[in-house]
Amino acid sequence: MISLKNEFLENIHNQFGSLQKLKNSQSLYSVNQDAFRIYIRYSKIHGGDRCFFGLREKDLRELEGRLSFICLLWEGQEKPLILPFSDFEDVFNNVDPAEDGQYKVQIFMQEYGTELYIARAGRFNVDSYFGFEELLKQIEPTISKVNTEFNHSQVQTLLGEIGSLRGFHIWIPTDDREKLDWSIVQHQFEVSLSLPNVSKGAERYLSKIDVIWIERGSNKFKALYEVEHSTPVYSGLLRFNDIYLLSVPVERFAIVSKEERRSVFARQINRPTFRRSGLFEICTFFNYINVYNWYQKLIKNISK
C-alpha cells in the first residue's frame, strides 16, 4: 500500500507541483500551493472484483468549496481512479456517515463497467474517471470542455456504440432508430430486430427501454439504460421496477441523465419502494459526460 501511494504521490508531484500534507489527516494533500486538493484512499481487492473504502466525514469537509478529488487506489490498477469531489458532493451531503464517522463506499469491477457504491445513496458508474485526464481537464483552463449538451437520441447512439464495441447485441426501440445520430460515432452499429424470448408482459416493458445490451450467444440481458433527458428520473425507475418485479434476469439497470440530476437519482432510488424490491442494489447512474468519455476511451484503446 505504501509503495502504491508513494508512486501515486510522485506522479502528482511530477505533473502538477509540490504537495503538502494537511493537518490531522494521513490522506489529505494540498497540491501546488492549494491549487487543488486530493484525498487518497487504498483498498485490497476482495473476492476478485470489489474494493472497500472508508471516507471520513471530517476529511471530506476539507474538500468543500475547493477544487478537490477523491483518489481511490488498489493493487493491479492500470490507472488510478480520480473522482472530482464536486460530482459527488451533493450525494454525500444527502446521506449520513456510519457511526464511526466514515462514509462506507465500495468499488465493483464488473464486465459491464466499474461502479462506485455509496452506502445509503446508490451506485454510480465511474469508468470515465480512470487516469489523470480528469485532473488535467479541470485544472488546465486552456483545455476545452466537452460539450455536454447531448440530446436524447445522441446519448442512445453513444450507449449503443459502447455496447457494440464491447461485443453485445443492441436493442433500440423501433420508433427511435431513425433518430440515432451516426455523426457522433465512428461506426454504425447493427440494431437487433427482436428481443430474446420473454413473456408478453415483459416484452411490453422491455421494448420501450432506450438501450439494451444483450449478450451474444446466450441472449442474456446484460444492461438496460433509460435516458431521462427531460422526463423525471422517477419515471425511469418505475419502468425498471416493473421489469425487475416480473423476474426478468437483468444484470444491471442504469439511469442516464444530466450531472445536476445525480442527487435527484440518489434521493429517488432510496425510496422505500425501490429498497423493498431490491432495485436499489443493482441500479446505477451515468451522466452524459460519463457516457461520452467512456466511448472516447474505448475508441482510443481500440486504435492502439
pLDDT of 230 above 90: no
The answer as to whether 274 is a domain residue is: yes
Does 90 share its domain with 233? Answer: no
Choose one of 84, 111, 139: the last residue of a domain. Answer: 139
Choose one of 139, 174, 204: the last residue of a domain. Answer: 139
User: What does the pLDDT look like over 107-154, one tens digit per residue?
Assistant: 999 887 899 999 989 999 999 899 998 788 777 653 344 455 799 999
Tell me what pLDDT residue 142 has: 34
pLDDT of 170 above 70: yes
Rounded to the nearest integer, the mean pLDDT of the chain is 90
Does 125 share its domain with 200? Answer: no
Tell me what pLDDT residue 304 has: 59
Does 135 share its domain with 170? Answer: no
pLDDT of 299 above 60: yes
The answer as to whether 145 is a domain residue is: no
Does 123 share its domain with 158? Answer: no
Does 23 share its domain with 89? Answer: yes
Number of domain units in the chain: 2
The answer as to whether 147 is a domain residue is: no
DSSP string, the chain: -HHHHHHHHHHHHHHH--EEEPTT-SSEEEETTTTEEEEEEEE-EETTTEEEEEEEHHHHHTTTTS-EEEEEEETT-SS-EEEEHHHHHHHHHTS---TTSEEEEEEEEETTEEEEEETTTEEEE-GGGBSTHHHHHHH-TTSPPPP----HHHHHHHHHHHHHHTTEEEE--GGGGGG--GGGSSS-PPBPSSPPS--HHHHHHHTTSSEEEEETTT--EEEEEEE-SSS-HHHHHHHHHHHHHTT--BS-EEEEE-GGGHHHHHHHHTSHHHHHHSHHHHEEEEEHHHHHHHHHHHHHHHH-
pTM value is: 0.71
Tell me what pLDDT residue 188 has: 95
Tell me what pLDDT residue 145 has: 46
Choose one of 111, 139, 167: the last residue of a domain. Answer: 139
**Domain residue limits at 47:** 2-139
Q: What is the average pLDDT across 291-297?
A: 84
Does 6 share its domain with 74? Answer: yes
Tell me what pLDDT residue 147 has: 53
Does 167 share its domain with 295? Answer: yes
Return the minimum-mean-pLDDT range out of 60-69, 115-124, 218-227.
Answer: 60-69
Does 167 share its domain with 229? Answer: yes
